[in-house]
Amino acid sequence: MQKERTQILLRIHWLSHWFFIRRLNIFSRFLDILIRLVYSGRIPGGAHIGTGTHFSHNALAVLINHNAVIGEHCMIGTHVVLGGRVPHPGAPILEDYVVINAGAMVLGNVRVGSGSVIAANSVVIEDVPPGCLVAGIPATIKKRNIDLSLFR
């Protein structure tokens, strides 16, 4: 049931994104509000989400910047923030197969490398190389060349 609800959420977002890139903002906004009301998260149509991405617990309280880019097959936990950071312009970019655990924040113009894992409640304000485990506030690299299968 949960996987089906997540798929519905992603389909609504992809439709919102389709309207957004065609400058039909009123329809995109309507779908963004629908996502906020039904799923209790903010996933605007301007954000790009790759195929195969999964949100835990139907994206409960997930906040995503409208300029954020999420690669393919990422896993995003509850209460995750992918947002901007004043005074640093830009939004996070997640490459493919990134895992972000519950409560983590990725703030500003930050690139998270493919196959990286962000631990729960971490705050990422600097780029993360591919295949790394980061944790802490601010997040630091705890392990390199991780086996991603242990975290998925």
Residue 118: name the closest of 90, 86, 81 by CA: 81
Q: Residue 122 and residue 102: Cα distance in Å, rounded?
A: 9
3-state SS of the chain is CHHHHHHHHHHHHHHHHHHHHCCCHHHHHHHHHHHHHHHCCECCCCCEECCCCEEHHHHCCCEECCCCEECCCCEECCCCEEECECCECCCCEECCCCEECCCCEEECCCEECCCCEECCCCEECCCECCCCEEECCCCEEEECCCCHHHCC
Known catalytic membership, residue 66: yes
Catalytic residue among 48, 54, 57, 66: 66
Catalytic residues: 66
